[in-house]
Structure formats: C-alpha cells, structure tokens
Amino acid sequence: MPTASRPDAARIGIIANPVSARDIRRVVANASNLQVADRVNMVLRVLTTVASLDVPRVLMMPDRGGIRAMLLRSLNRERNLHHAFPEVEFLDMEPTSTVDDTFLAARMMRAAGVKAIVVLGGDGTHRAVVRACADIPVAGLSTGTNNTFPEMRESTITAMAVALYATGRLTPERALAPNKMLEISINEGERRDIALVDAVISTDRCIGARALWKTETLSAVYLTFAEPQAIGLSAIGGLLQPVGRREAGGLAVHLSHDPATRRLLLRAPIAPGMVREVGIAHWEPMPAGEPFPVALQAGVVALDGEREIAFNAGDRVRITLRENAFPTVDVARCMQAAAREGLFRLSSSTL
C-alpha cells in the first residue's frame, strides 16, 4: 500500500451527537432510536479503520450524553486486548449538552487543522457542523431520524474514504464533492441560518418540541435537493419534481390546505412511517443566488426537520439557494478511485 505523504499531519475530527434521534417522533411515528452503545460502536469502527490506514490522531467532541464515557471505557478494554487505535484526544471544552457544543467543537477542530470531520448525527447535526465550519470536508454517518443528508453507509467504509483523503492518497479534486445549502435571512441579515436539505415554513409559531410532523401547519417547503426515495419533508419535493444532490438549483413547493387553491393532493412520507396527504398549490425551481421571499406573515422556519426560528408580522424572511457551499467526502467516488488506482493493494501486481 502506498504510504501517506505526510501521515503525521493526517488527523481527523469526530463529532458524535448523543441526542440525535431522540425527539417526539419516537412517540408519534415510531421512529428509530439508535442507542448510545451502537453510536459508540460506530465510533470504535471508525477509529480502528483510520488507525489501520495511517491516521495517527483523532480529535473528538466531548459530551455529557454518554458517548465519551462509554468510549473511554471501551478504549481501555480494547487496549487490554492490544487492538490498534489512533491517539484519541477529546477537545478541551466544557459540554453544555446543547447545539453550541457542536458549533464550538467544529470550530476547534478547524483551528487544530483536521483534514475532515466525521459526523454522527442526522440532518440537524450535520447542519450544525456546516453552519460553524463550512470549509472543512464533512463525512456523514446517519444516526438521526430522517437522515436525508448523511448517506446510510457502514461506518468502516466512510472511515476508509476519509483516511484516503486525510492521508493525501486522494486529492481534494478526487475525494470531495460540492454541496448546496439554503441561506435563511430574517430582516436583511438581522438573523441568519442555513439548511442542508429543507427549510420549511410552518404556521406553528412555537419552537416547543422542535420536530415537525403536523401537515396542517405546513405552508412552504424549500429544498436543496429532493429525492423520491427520501423520508421527511423533502419527500414532498422528491415525489413532485425530483432534484438531485449534485444537480444545479433547488425546489420551492408552496402548500395549500384550501381545496379552492390547491392544485393537487400528494401522499408523501413526511416522517418515518407517516405517509400523509399534503395539499400542493404550486412548485417552482429555485435558481442559485435568487432570494425567495416567504409569503406567510407569521410562523416558524424549521431547518432540516427542526423548528428553529419564530417570525412575526413585519419580519422579512428570505430563502436563497447557494451552490458549492461546502464540501463533503464523496465516499462512493473515493472507493471507486481506490479500486481503480489499486490504493488498497499491498503488492505491486497490477493484475
């Protein structure tokens, strides 16, 4: 196997959210609940994989949700068994058990010079990492509810692709892919936020338990990409007019609960196990860079499945699609390149 160009510089970060997939959709929709023990197992698999591919050091976000405590116990056991691990260092930060932990960890990892950040979470966790740090490549592992943004993939394979990139065996041009995002601006930038998959406007005006599952409150759905096989609110767009993750432009869907103004009724899987009828008024492509004004007077903007920002009459809400907004490690492309170029072959045979 070719050796890394500068293996000593090859370090990666891991941000594992202990409380993704813990919201009310466990009760209203029987959504799955990945246990902390399984999240720790995923981290352990990432660690052993990157260790065997010459990544010497991994920075991790500390948490008070059980991942750090269980991981440290597991690492002690594994060391007794003489299994190889990279050096694991927890960031020197005090966890608050809020999304601020993810923001801070992502910024600290960038400052520490990580090559990529492996994220364990759902759409919301990935959004938080990108919001804090849009220039470090992200490699996502699905541990959330909808998991539209992170691909469902065995963590070993994601870790292999990350190690190929982090050790310089694959260049950014070959390993990374650009992604779209939505920029949400309230009153010309008084407040800004982003979404990686969907920004949904709801007549609901309380953040409350955050999750969004009541279709009668939906007013509009703005999407970076919309796949027909997706679960969650992006499925509405995916079943109307699919837009690929790598295609130009996004999609805006305007809903109506009034039979007089709606053009059709669509059945869509808006949450796990919940196929619901949604009244569609019209839909339109979202070209990059063009601000879309939100028509609803007062409501809530939900970002990647969670109610985030309440707005009132007089607030001007604009949503703009941005292309080439942040890079992700393109696992499939990395592994294809690795196979093509024999990156995992240990002999010089080209047979």
Partner 1 sequence: MAGKNPFPLSRDELLKCYRTMGTIREFEERLHIDFGRGDIPGFVHLYAGEEASAAGIMSHLGDGDRIASTHRGHGHCISKGVNVVAMMKEIYGRTGGACNGKGGSMHIADVSKGMMGANGILGAGAPLACGAALAAKFRKKGEVAISFVGDGASNQGTFLESLNLAAVWNLPVLFVVENNGYAESTSRDYGTAVDSYVDRAAGFGLPGVTVDGTDFFAVYEAAGEMIKRAREGGGPALLECKMVRFYGHFEGDAQTYRGAGELDKIRADQDCMKKFRAQVTAAGVITADELKAIDREVLGVIENAVKEAKAAPLPTLADLTTDVYVTY
The binder of partner 1 chosen from 15, 23, 105, 250 (CB under 8 A): 23
How many residues belong to the site for partner 1 (CB under 8 A)? 36
User: Least Å distance between CB 231 and partner 1?
Assistant: 18
CA nearest 253: which of 285, 230, 221, 227? 221
CB nearer to partner 1: pick between 32 and 241: 32
The binder of partner 1 chosen from 13, 18, 144, 305 (CB under 8 A): 18
The binder of partner 1 chosen from 3, 5, 33, 324 (CB under 8 A): 33
User: Least Å distance between CB 80 and partner 1?
Assistant: 18
Per CB under 8 A, does 187 bind partner 1? no
Sketch the per residue contact string, 38 through 77, with partner 1: x for CB under 8 A, - otherwise: --------------------------xxx-xxx-------
CB nearer to partner 1: pick between 245 and 257: 257
Per CB under 8 A, does 27 bind partner 1? yes
CA nearest 193: which of 122, 117, 128, 103? 128
Q: Taking the C-alpha atoms of 35, 157, 52 and 40 in order, what is their torsion angle to the nearest 10 degrees?
A: -10
Per CB under 8 A, does 28 bind partner 1? yes
Q: What Å distances lie between residue 249 and 17, 97, 231, 240, 305, CA to CA? A: 30, 35, 20, 15, 20
Q: Rounded to an integer, what distance in angstroms lies between the CA atom of residue 298 and that of residue 217?
A: 12
User: Least Å distance between CB 19 and partner 1?
Assistant: 5
User: Least Å distance between CB 120 and partner 1?
Assistant: 14
CB nearer to partner 1: pick between 4 and 220: 220
Per CB under 8 A, does 276 bind partner 1? no
User: Least Å distance between CB 100 and partner 1?
Assistant: 10
- Residues near partner 1 (CB under 8 A) are 18-19, 22-24, 26-28, 30, 33, 35-37, 64-66, 68-70, 94, 96-98, 204-210, 297-298, 310, 312-314
